[in-house]
Chains A and B, each alone.
Chain A
Amino acid sequence: MAGGATIELVGLTKRFSGARGGVAALRSVSARIEPGRITGLVGSDGAGKTTLMRVIAGLMAADEGEVRVENAAEVGYMPQSFATYEDLTVADNLALYADLEGVAGAARRARLDELLAFTGLGPFQARLAGRLSGGMRQKLALACALMRPPDALLLDEPSVGVDPLSRRELWEIVSGLAAKGALVLWSTAYLDEAERCAAVLVLHQGRLVYAGPPGSFTGPLAGRTFALYAPAASLRAVQRRAGVQPGIVDAVRRERALRLVVAEGPAPKLADLLAEDERAGAALEPVRPTFEDALVAALRSTAEPSPTPLLAAPAPIADLDRPTARPVEVANLTRRFDSFVAVDSVSFAVERGEIFGLLGPNGAGKSTIFKVLCGLLPPSGGTALIAGIDLSRARAAARERIGYMSQRFSLYGELSVGQNLAFFAGVYGLSGRRKRERIAAVSAEFGLRALEDERAGALPLGHRQRLALAAALLHEPAILFLDEPTSGVDPVTRREFWLRINALAEAGVTVMVSTHFLEEAEYCDRLAILYEGRLIALGSAADLKRAHAPPGTTAPPGIEDAFIALIRAQARAAA
């Protein structure tokens, strides 16, 4: 597009002063952003995405370097939490922004109608913004940001908190803008979104790791990615071994295979990966490298090594010695809030050592089920058993058997790592020698010894996650609850986390995961898909994908496709 807006970044560096000598949020970032397409700004939480957006938008000055914006009269910026007024209706919000932007006269009505049609918000004009779903609220925010059509549009994580269906619609709206010649910078932590962009800037810890089309990012990995099928072996065990094997960059379980990314050189042989008795029926097939593979390979070279060899045998779990009933059993579970039915007669059972995911859009009821199972809420109807303990009777007793790690890694930030561990050991009733032993054990296992005196709040995200998991495991629970454990975390840290979870599951710990983050769903053995309080599908990711793939898809469907197809079918049935 000749004459379109371009943004050129030249050696941008930005430091924030902080507790320990400050943090560099951006380290000499140079790149060129072209018009007429969506450029993805890809990175995990804390990678520097928001800082870069704010520097480009002129809200923050860089310490070094400069931003050159060409041919752009209007640069629109939509921050992560865009200020739509919750107590105003959709129409009022739009009118307010029209006033603020000085859109008046005949053009005003036309522009508002255009935006309403464009975002599909027409039927919801009278609704309060606070009552909109996450996806609709983002569309409204986008409409407000687009009041005067900008030549360049900066969107900071527009798809966070938005269900997959609305995420796609949002993407299509923005694609339409880009097709008309606008420059769009879309920041995201979701790698499937990154893959859909025409170009990407990949940030990691403030550094530009890659800039260019996403397809070329995977280029160097050609011939280095494989799927390993080994029906006779425990894939988890193979994965753990592969994780420390030289020449293997990455090993991730995907459905019935182990995805491998290997270092440059000759292709790996089955004999290197599997013991003799595991090789029956095994196969190693080359597969197409994905964006995630490329990112992991790029980050592995910079990432600090894992604190402990994950080859170590899984920690023995004392609680498992007790003979127990099924770890989790839910029958016709119902939970009402006044007249609102948040969970409607849901039944499922989880086996020992299983990783079980609850998946669904916001408001589907997964967090309510989680709260019931964690003993925070009594059920209104049906039964819920944790290790055979009835949650409508002995909630405190049931809570002793579970570990819980929340999305926000809820730790006491002002306390040191050691003090946090001592506290959680204490509230779970550990004392004396057992307390000392358990703290020593998890500290060693999670590489926290060197960090003992650090303030928990000052730790980087990955370390904080490790500490939170360590704290949840101090009392050796038989069942572990994880609430969106790895959203926003970079893929290397995420892999490390799931390796640990796998090791725990192998040792017999039952793991319950609640998430709306589809990448996390891939790590679960089985998934329960919830929609409007009801269980609409139950099975392994592979089964669900096969059973619910939208007709006419040629490429292997992702879990997201299956999920969207399921939800659309439900919505149709309800209509």
Chain B
Amino acid sequence: MWRRIVALVVKEFLAVLKDRKSRAVLLVLPFLQLGVFPFATTFEVTGIRLAVLNEDAGAEGRELVSRFTATPTFRAVATLTHSSEIAPMIDSRRAELVLHVGKTFSRALKTGASAPVQLIADGRNSNTALITLAYAGEIVGAFGREHARAPLPAALVDRAWFNPNLGSLWSILPGILAIIISVATTSITAFSLAREKEVGTFQQLLVTPLRPVEIVIGKTLPALAIGLGESAVIVAAMVLLYRMPLVGRVGLLYVGIPLFLLANIGMGLMVSSVARTQQQALLGAFLFLLPEVILSGFATPIGNMPDWIQTLTYVNPMRYFLVISQGVFLKDLPADAVLAQAWPMALIALGSLTVAGWLFRRRLY
């Protein structure tokens, strides 16, 4: 049995390495992704287009405005003279935020009365608007504290643990690792069988003494090896190029990675045992990968999703791997916490690989 599997594994490696398209998927794409994704998916907002309407004649008004324009977060694009100009600025998207300082601003400050400042944000991109308003709120808050006659009754002091500077790169990179290795292994396995079906070699494989379980193993091992190698390179790049801290133990990361890869390979094999052509395989892999990423908690927390969708995420291997990946990198996740995430992935891997093996046979009938 192992002799036959070895032959299949060797052939699989040769086929992947000799095919220009698969080579590109494996060797070029992940590094392009690693170079582009972390910056493309950043949650930090800079260079917000700011329009200023300062009706206040005093020094305080000017000071507040300069606190906005002095940070790299905001870029002043227009100075307005009348409130009727506000709406067109936002409508035409020439400004994303309008800072409106009223006529009585400095006077109110001096007399100790409340001095309101108006901020108008373009809510069409709600995420950016929220972050923009939060930044602006911070600036106004700091200004308020300094100019207050008496200390405020309650002051908030925040500390973000594990990611003290709240660098979004650190929270994104462990997810990027998950996405890149799952895309590579799922698509490679999804394509490999569909391709054999198109060329007619699949039937030839089935008339050899190879059993379905041997075909599954023979197709799984090369993809697993490729995925492991790729993950090692990406982890190294994260630490060396992106200066990502690796607080936890790498060994624990490598409890999660093989199981996560196996679960993805199983899904890829399922797709390719149902697909008749490479086109169908591409579509099938896409149909699996997209929800895998969206329902993983990578971009939006699973806790914020409706209950029934939260239930759905339990069959998503990336949900578990993301916990391990972020945990090991940022906070030295203990072994028992890793295991708690590992066994569901093992279950998913076993299930998908078994179904794939069973489907191989069914599709022939």
Interface string of B195-209 (1 = CB under 8 A from A): 000011101111111
A410 near B200 (CB under 8 angstroms)?
A: yes
Interface size on A, residues (CB 8 A): 31
Q: Which of B11-19, B72-80, B99-107 contacts A (4 or more CB under 8 A)?
A: B11-19
Interface string of A420-438 (1 = CB under 8 A from B): 0011111111010000000
- Tell me which residues from 183 to 219 in chain B have a Cβ below 8 Å from any Cβ of chain A: 199-201, 203-211
Task: Indicate whether A410 sits within 8 Å of B201 (C-beta atoms), given known contacts A404-B207, A426-B3, A427-B208.
Answer: yes
B4 near A429 (CB under 8 angstroms)?
A: yes
A427 near B210 (CB under 8 angstroms)?
A: yes
* CB of A384 to closest CB in B, whole Å: 15
For A427, give its contact among B4, B15, B18 (CB under 8 Å): B4
Q: Tell me if B365 counts as interface (CB < 8 A to partner A).
A: yes
Instruction: Specify which chain A residues have a CB less than 8 angstroms from the CB of B18 in the assembled complex.
Output: 414-415
* CB of B292 to closest CB in A, whole Å: 29
For A406, give its contact among B14, B204, B364 (CB under 8 Å): B204
* CB of A187 to closest CB in B, whole Å: 24
For B201, give its contact among A337, A412, A422, A428 (CB under 8 Å): A412
Task: Indicate whether A423 sits within 8 Å of B7 (C-beta atoms), given known contacts A410-B199, A415-B14.
Answer: yes
Task: Indicate whether A377 sits within 8 Å of B209 (C-beta atoms), given known contacts A410-B200, A427-B7.
Answer: no
Q: Tell me if A413 counts as interface (CB < 8 A to partner B).
A: yes
B11 near A429 (CB under 8 angstroms)?
A: no
* In the bound complex, CA of A369 to CA of B123 (Å): 67
* In the bound complex, CA of A402 to CA of B8 (Å): 19
Instruction: Specify which chain B residues have a CB less than 8 angstroms from the CB of A426 in the assembled complex.
Output: 3-4, 6-8, 10-11
A412 near B7 (CB under 8 angstroms)?
A: no
Task: Indicate whether A412 sits within 8 Å of B15 (C-beta atoms), given known contacts A396-B209, A402-B207, A429-B209.
Answer: yes
Instruction: Specify which chain A residues have a CB less than 8 angstroms from the CB of B10 in the assembled complex.
Output: 422-423, 426
A-B contact count (CB 8 A): 76
Q: Tell me if A29 counts as interface (CB < 8 A to partner B).
A: no
Residue of B nearest to A398 (CB): B209
Instruction: Specify which chain A residues have a CB less than 8 angstroms from the CB of B203 in the assembled complex.
Output: 376, 406, 410
Residue of B nearest to A338 (CB): B365
For A429, give its contact among B3, B211, B364 (CB under 8 Å): B3
B209 near A400 (CB under 8 angstroms)?
A: yes
Residue of B nearest to A415 (CB): B14
Residue of A nearest to B18 (CB): A414
- Tell me which residues from 405 to 456 in chain A have a Cβ below 8 Å from any Cβ of chain B: 406, 408, 410-415, 419, 422-429, 431
14 inter-chain pairs at a CB distance below 8 angstroms, sorted by A residue, are: A337-B365, A376-B206, A377-B365, A410-B200, A410-B201, A414-B18, A415-B15, A419-B11, A419-B14, A422-B7, A426-B6, A428-B4, A428-B208, A431-B3
Supplied contacts A425-B7, A427-B210, 18 more A-B pairs, CB within 8 Å: A376-B207, A376-B364, A396-B209, A399-B207, A404-B204, A410-B203, A412-B201, A414-B15, A415-B15, A419-B11, A422-B10, A423-B7, A423-B8, A426-B3, A426-B6, A426-B11, A427-B208, A429-B4
Residues in chain B within 8 A of chain A (CB atoms): 3-4, 6-8, 10-11, 14-15, 18-19, 199-201, 203-211, 364-365
Residues in chain A within 8 A of chain B (CB atoms): 337, 371, 374-377, 396-397, 399-400, 402, 404, 406, 408, 410-415, 419, 422-429, 431, 481
